Amino acid sequence: MQNLSRSAALVMAAGLLTSLPALADEPRFNQVSLRAEVSQEVPRDLMLVTLYTEAQNTDPAKLAAEITTTMNKALEQARQVKDIKLSQGSRNSYPVYEEKGRKIIGWRERAELRMESSDFAALSKLTGEMLQNLTLGGMDFTIATPTRKASEDALLKEAVAAFKERAQMATEALGGKGYKVVSLNLNSSGYPQPYVRAPMMMKAAMDTEAVTPQVEAGTSEVRVNVDGTIEVLMP
């Protein structure tokens, strides 16, 4: 009797173990993968300007002092204008060789000043004035972080609504009575790289008087897409 009871218990345990994977891997039917995407033209509302100074000297110490003096004056000038964010970019020096490349005949150094602002008029005017002593490295336009977040939040709601609309259409096409969402992925894309407008500034650097460049930042298309899978419930 003990052997029979033990055998029966083993059979029952084996039966339970066999049924567990079946429950875990229960097949799902009538699944449909869908994608919805919405987009919006967003104004580039942040202006970025990079200026630099570059000089050469046989004495590296004098060269460093010259570059530092020029940059200090530029920073003081830029600080007088409100709502301009300033930061110093890269600064590096390197040797200058003779034609044969064997002997160092001098040193060359370059330092950058970066400015950004949502006040295009103020930054444009300041840039034109500073080009009397500095050289333009680049002028770019991009979307400010608060603007980007606001546009993304608005598009996110639209994208989800578009996905639900497609899910309902697919359900009706299959003759279902409803659906449930199996998976859902939200993604944003299309944020632009800074928009370069450097050539427009070159004329200001050549003129004897400071020239305020006219700027047109334009817009960029921002997209939000929703990828997901639904399971259509059949009658």
Is residue 62 helix, strand or coil? helix
Per DSSP, helices labelled H in 59-216 are: 60-79, 120-130, 145-173, 199-206
pLDDT tens sequence across 63-110: 999 999 999 999 999 999 999 999 999 999 999 998 887 899 999 999
Question: In the predicted model, what is the mean pLDDT of the chain?
Answer: 82
* Contact (CB, 8 A) for 99 and 13: no
Reference 127, options 67, 216, 52, 196; nearest CA is 52
Give residue 191's pLDDT: 54
Q: What is the mean pLDDT of residues 43-48?
A: 93
pTM: 0.68
Give residue 204's pLDDT: 41
> How far is it, in rounded angstroms, from Cα 61 to Cα 105?
14
pLDDT tens sequence across 135-166: 999 999 999 999 988 999 999 999 999 999 99
Fold of 46-143+192-220: Alpha-Beta Plaits (3.30.70)
